[in-house]
């Protein structure tokens, strides 16, 4: 690799050829501010916040797209540079809805942070004509407010990466807005509710639909029995909302916070993840042994399921009929748990804390009501839970570590890795391989399906049979892998997650600025916490969970039974011509 010698603020530095000034400065310990830039996603040099001075250049250059060259001298903090950045921010603010106190992103807004850092005081300096946009609340999972949009196009790039592309720039010049084709509402498009646009947005222009008031109201209602379940990945991400290092496992503090919020029971979605594996592994074995439709494709991610219904309806027969862990848990709560505790399912409010905005869509899907009422009543994101904790004046960092309530707090290492791409596949293989071979695995670690690569493929020898598995995360990667399937490549089992990196990078996860998302591997750091949790567990296979054995013995009889299908399985619809909701 050839090196290029440059100077930044008078200090010599050698960096690989092809490096941008932004990247070189960061290696040198200088964080050049950005707004539109997100590495490998949106590198367009449009916002002009990252401008720097290059000796010999007649104008300031955008450091995020300007490559270094031999002998280049760069200045990142001259008066000319600082004034240019400040003026650009003032111009952005001139058409921005500056209701920061009521904005969900206040304190986490990249625009707000830059204004504070660069000393922007007179917010109205360039005020003049500005457009007023109606707020789009049509979608079940999010709210779009173009009055707070800064036209950075990060959301557009994220949506295109997902192969969905339902939003983009409309009109030109001062009339430019980010919206749907023909100015349709988001609910009228083929949006899959993944929320990747939300975690990419630097301001409050995009936000999940906030359902926290519904949860507070349910908790305050003495006639309701309110239970909460938390997805595997939440323990690895919630701490970020309270300025804890990325990848910190806060399971104990999370449980303590939920109890202090007033929930009647605090349960772990991991239990239902183990239950999902029992049903899904059984389904895989059944299809292999009886000539069923292959490849079997996982169904845990509602964003992926919606994507399949929209863009690949011809593969719906391949998708596992298992409900997602969220929905399985809700179904168990409204059936077995309700019956065991003598509670009318109508008096139970089932709340989930999920990494995923698509879960808000999933709770309203058809065929998700095992007890005649919705399996899950309210689904909130990691960010919404953090806001509830703050609103209730709970000092998260000072909380003791507490454990989930039993019996639905028992889980295995297999279930916790559901939050990382490849985790569902690995968990299923731990059970399916032992079921097929009748032998105990020497090692339960299936390294071939781990890692954050968008697509992973491996062939495993199982009882003398070669089993080809595939893993894809992100709808764009899913489309690429499914195209290979349609072109004739043979697979037995495929895991698909709707978000790149899996649930740890879901659309409901904590906001991180572009300076972090571009240069730190959030997916890997968060996933590492889950794999560490798995490795520390005494039981690492779903079929060895004592509570799983108990509930089958008492209620479901066996995986794939008639009762299990009534409660734990669902159906899908072809939505390729129906862009509603």
pLDDT in tens, 309-364: 999 999 999 999 999 999 999 999 999 999 999 999 999 999 999 999 999 999 99
Q: What gap in Å lies between CA 312 and CA 35, rounded to an integer?
A: 35
C-alpha 576/C-alpha 309 separation (Å) is 6
CB contact at 8 A, 400 and 417: no
pLDDT at 87 > cutoff 80: yes
Please indicate, yes or no, whether residues 239 and 171 belong to a single structural domain of this protein: no
What phi, psi does 416 have (nearest 5°)? -70, -30
What are the residues whose beta carbons fall under 8 Å from the beta carbon of 107, sequence distance 6 or more? none
DSSP secondary structure letters along 533-551: HHHH-S--SGGG-HHHHHH
Sign of the torsion angle spanned by Cα atoms 309, 312, 314, 315: negative
Per-residue model confidence (pLDDT) at position 409: 85
**Do 350 and 236 belong together in one domain?**
yes
Same domain, 127 and 156: yes
Q: Which residues of 320-345 are buried (b: 16+ CB within 10 A; e: fewer)?
A: bbbbbbbbbbbbbbbbbbbeeeebeb
Quick one: 162 and 303 in the same domain? no
**Residue 533: pLDDT over 90:** yes
Q: Is 88 within a domain?
A: no
Residues 52-80: tens digit of each pLDDT: 999 999 999 999 999 999 999 999 999 99
Going by the DSSP 8-state scheme, the letter that residue 570 receives in this structure is: -
| Domain limit, last residue, from 184, 207, 230 | 207
Are residues 391 and 446 part of one domain?
A: yes
The answer to the question of residue 579 being in a domain is no
Identify the CATH number of the domain in which residue 48 sits. Answer: 3.10.20.740
Q: Which residues contact 424 (CB under 8 A, 6 or more apart)?
A: 276, 277, 280, 298, 300, 418, 495, 497
Both 442 and 392 in one domain: the answer is yes
Query: Containing H/E element for 154?
Result: helix 154-161
Please give the pLDDT value at position 124: 77
19: in domain:
yes
Tell me the pairing of strands 11-16 and 3-8. antiparallel
Q: What is the pLDDT of residue 579?
A: 60
On whether residue 182 sits in a domain, the answer given is yes
Cis peptide leading into 99, omega within 30 of 0? Answer: no
Cβ contact 276:541 at 8 Å: no
- What domain count does the chain have? 3
Q: At what angle do helices 382-391 and 251-261 cross, to 10 degrees?
A: 60
What contacts 537, CB < 8 A, 6 or more positions away? 412, 413, 416
Half-sphere exposure of 451 (CA within 13 A, CB side): 12
Residue at which a domain ends, from 190, 207, 224: 207
Regarding whether 372 and 318 lie in a shared domain, the answer is yes
The pairing of strands 51-54 and 61-62 is antiparallel
Residue 325 is predicted with a pLDDT of 97
425 and 482 together in one domain: yes
Mean pLDDT of 407-427: 95
Report which DSSP code applies to 335. I
- Say if residue 540's pLDDT is above 50: yes
Say if 573 falls within a structural domain: no
Average pLDDT, whole number, for the chain? 96
Residue written as tokens 């003049």?
128
Percent of the chain residues past pLDDT 70, beyond the cut: 99
348 DSSP β-pair partners: 225
- The C-alpha atoms of residue 448 and residue 422 are separated, in whole angstroms, by 9
- Report pTM: 0.95
Give me the pLDDT at residue 410, please. Answer: 87
> The domain containing residue 172 runs over which residues?
95-207
Q: Based on the domain organization, do 157 and 280 belong to the same domain? A: no
Residues 205-231: tens digit of each pLDDT: 999 999 999 999 999 999 999 999 999
> Whats the size of the chain, residue-wise?
581
- CA dist 93 and 98 (Å) reads 7
Residue 82 lies in a domain: no
Residue 39, Cα to own-chain centre: how many angstroms?
18
Phi first, then psi, for residue 47 (nearest 5°) are -80, -25
* Domain CATH code at residue 174: 3.30.70.20
Q: How many Å apart are CA 476 and CA 196, to the nearest integer? A: 12
Q: pLDDT grade, residue 20 (50/70/90)?
A: very high
Please check whether residue 86 lies inside any domain of the structure. Answer: no
Both 423 and 520 in one domain: the answer is yes
**Token pair for residue 415?**
């279930």
Cα distances (Å, whole numbers) of residue 488 to 295, 425, 483, 485: 12, 22, 9, 5
Residue 26 resides in a domain? yes
Percent of the chain with pLDDT over 90: 94
Q: Is the pLDDT of residue 580 over 90?
A: no
Q: What is the pLDDT of residues 427-483, one digit of tens each?
A: 999 999 999 999 999 999 999 999 999 999 999 999 888 999 999 999 999 999 999
Contact 18, 67 (CB under 8 A): yes
Is residue 382 pLDDT above 60, yes or no?
yes
Domain end (from 22, 42, 77): 77
Question: Does one domain contain both 200 and 230?
Answer: no
* Claim to verify: residue 287 and residue 301 sit in the same structural domain: yes
């Amino acid at each position: 690799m050839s090196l290029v010698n440059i100077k930044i603020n008078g200090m010599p530095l050698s960096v690989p050829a092809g490096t941008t000034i932004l990247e070189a400065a960061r290696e040198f310990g200088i964080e050049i501010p950005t707004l539109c830039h997100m590495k490998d996603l949106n590198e367009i040099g449009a916002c002009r916040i990252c401008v720097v001075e290059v000796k010999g250049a007649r104008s300031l250059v955008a450091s995020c797209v300007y490559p270094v060259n031999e002998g280049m001298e760069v200045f990142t903090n001259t008066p000319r540079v600082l004034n240019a950045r400040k003026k650009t921010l003032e111009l952005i603010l001139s058409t921005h809805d500056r209701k920061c106190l009521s904005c969900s992103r206040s304190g986490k807004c990249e625009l707000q942070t830059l204004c504070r850092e660069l000393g922007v005081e007179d917010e109205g300096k360039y005020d003049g004509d500005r457009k007023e946009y109606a707020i789009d609340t049509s979608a079940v999972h999010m709210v779009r407010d173009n009055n707070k949009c800064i036209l950075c196009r990060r959301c557009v790039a994220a949506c295109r990466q997902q192969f969905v592309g339902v939003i983009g720039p409309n009109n030109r010049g001062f009339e430019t807005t980010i919206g749907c084709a023909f100015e349709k509402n988001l609910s009228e498009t083929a949006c899959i509710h993944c929320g990747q646009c939300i975690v990419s947005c630097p301001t409050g222009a995009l936000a999940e639909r906030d359902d926290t008031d519904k949860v507070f109201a349910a908790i305050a209602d003495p006639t309701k029995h309110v239970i909460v379940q938390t997805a595997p990945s939440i323990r690895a991400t919630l701490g970020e909302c309270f300025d804890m290092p990325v990848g910190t496992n806060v399971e104990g503090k999370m449980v303590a916070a939920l109890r202090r919020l007033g929930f009647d029971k605090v349960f772990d979605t991991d239990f239902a993840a183990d239950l999902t594996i029992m049903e899904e592994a059984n389904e895989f074995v059944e299809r292999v042994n009886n000539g069923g439709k292959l490849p079997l494709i996982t169904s845990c991610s509602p964003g992926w399921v919606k994507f399949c219904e929209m863009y690949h309806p011809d593969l719906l027969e391949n998708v596992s009929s298992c409900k997602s862990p969220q929905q399985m848990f809700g179904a168990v709560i409204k059936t077995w748990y309700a019956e065991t505790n003598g509670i009318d399912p109508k008096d139970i409010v089932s709340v989930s804390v999920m990494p995923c905005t698509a879960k808000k869509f999933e709770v309203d899907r058809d065929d998700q009501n095992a007890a005649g009422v919705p399996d899950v009543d309210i689904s909130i994101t990691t960010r919404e839970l953090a806001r509830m904790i703050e609103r209730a004046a709970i000092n998260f960092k000072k909380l003791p570590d507490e454990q989930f309530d039993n019996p639905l707090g028992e889980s295995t290492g297999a279930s916790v890795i559901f939050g990382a791409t490849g985790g569902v596949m690995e968990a299923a293989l731990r059970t399916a391989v032992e079921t097929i071979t009748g032998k105990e695995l020497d090692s339960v670690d299936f390294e071939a399906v781990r890692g954050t690569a968008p697509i992973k493929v491996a062939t495993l020898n199982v009882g003398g049979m070669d089993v080809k598995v595939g893993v894809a995360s992100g709808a764009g990667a899913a489309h690429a892998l499914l195209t290979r399937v349609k072109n004739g490549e043979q697979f037995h089992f495929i895991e698909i997650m709707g978000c790149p990196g899996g649930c740890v990078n879901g659309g409901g996860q904590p906001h991180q600025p572009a300076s972090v998302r571009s240069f730190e591997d959030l997916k890997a750091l968060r996933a590492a916490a889950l794999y560490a949790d798995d490795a520390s567990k005494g039981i690492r296979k779903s079929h060895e969970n004592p509570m799983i054995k108990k509930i089958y013995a008492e209620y479901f009889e066996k995986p794939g039974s008639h009762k299990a299908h009534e409660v734990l399985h669902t159906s899908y619809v072809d939505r390729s011509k129906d862009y509603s909701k």
